[in-house]
Chains A and B, each alone.
Chain A
Amino acid sequence: MSWGDPPSPQLLPSTCLDRDRLGQQLLNAIFIGSIYALFAVGYTLVFGVLDILNLAHSAVFMFGAAITYSLVINHGQSFWVACAIGIAASALMGLVIEHVCLRPLRRRSAPPIAALISTIGLALIIVAAIEQGQPGAFLSWIWVDGANSVSFPPGTIPNPTWHVAGLTIEASKMAIIPISVALMLVLGYVIRYTQVGRALRAVAENPRAARLMGLDVDRMISLTLVISSALGGLAGILFGVALGDISPYIGRDNVEIRGLAVIVLGGMGSIPGAVVGGYLLGLIEVAALVVLGSNARAGVAFAALFLMLVLRPQGLFGAELREKI
Chain B
Amino acid sequence: MDFLIQLFTDPLAFWNSHTLLIAQVGINSILASSMFVVLYSGQLSLAAPGFMAIGAYTSVLMELYWHTPLALNIAVGVLLAGGAGVLIGLPVLRLRGVFLAIATIGFIEALRLGVILNLPITGEGLGLKNPHADPLGGINLVLVSVVVTIFLVWRLTKGRLGSAWAAIRQDELAALSQGIHVARYKMIAFILSAVLAGFAGGLEAHLNFFVDPGDSEYGVTRAIQILTFAILGGSGYVLGPVVGALFLTSLPYIFQQAHDYIGVVSGAFLIAVIVFRPQGIVGRGGLALFRPRWWPRRQVRAPSPG
Q: Mark A residues whose CB is within 8 Å of B.
A: 47, 53, 55, 100-101, 104-105, 108-111, 113-114, 116-118, 120-125, 127-129, 131-132, 256-257, 260-261, 264, 268, 295-296, 298-300, 302-303, 305-306, 309-310, 313, 323-325
Contacts and interface: CB of A to CB of B under 8 A. Distances in A.
B109 A104 contact: no
22 contacts: A108-B288, A110-B278, A113-B44, A113-B231, A114-B231, A114-B278, A118-B271, A120-B270, A121-B266, A121-B267, A125-B264, A125-B271, A128-B262, A128-B264, A132-B261, A261-B106, A299-B109, A299-B115, A302-B109, A310-B92, A310-B103, A325-B176
Contacts of B263: 124-125, 127-129, 131
B96 interface: yes
Given A113-B231, A118-B275, A323 B110 contact: no
A132 B263 CA distance: 10
A134 B217 CA distance: 28
A109 B98 CA distance: 18
A11 to B, nearest CB: 24
Nearest to A300: B114
Contacts of B110: 299, 302-303, 305-306
B268 A125 contact: yes
Contacts of B103: 305-306, 309-310
Q: Closest 8 interchain pairs by CB?
A: A299-B114, A128-B263, A121-B270, A110-B278, A306-B106, A124-B267, A125-B267, A305-B106
Main secondary structure of the interface of B (DSSP, over half): helix
Contacts of A260: 102, 105
A305 to B, nearest CB: 4
A146 B71 CA distance: 45
Contacts of A310: 91-92, 95, 103
A257 B109 contact: yes
Given A109-B300, A261-B102, A306-B106, 16 more contacts: A47-B98, A110-B303, A111-B278, A116-B227, A125-B271, A128-B264, A295-B117, A298-B109, A299-B109, A310-B91, A310-B92, A310-B103, A313-B94, A323-B172, A325-B176, A325-B183
A240 B278 CA distance: 36
Interface of B: 44, 91-92, 94-96, 98-99, 102-103, 105-107, 109-110, 112-115, 117-118, 124-125, 172, 176, 182-183, 220, 224, 227-228, 231-232, 260-264, 266-271, 274-275, 278-279, 288, 300, 303-306
A117 B106 contact: no
A75 B54 CA distance: 50
A120 B182 CA distance: 31
A256 B268 CA distance: 21
B275 A105 contact: yes
A296 B114 contact: yes
Main secondary structure of the interface of A (DSSP, over half): helix
B232 A117 contact: yes
A101 B268 CA distance: 11
A101 B274 CA distance: 9
A127 B262 CA distance: 11
A159 to B, nearest CB: 32
Contacts of A55: 224
Nearest to B278: A110
Contacts of B270: 117-118, 120-121, 124
Contacts of A104: 275
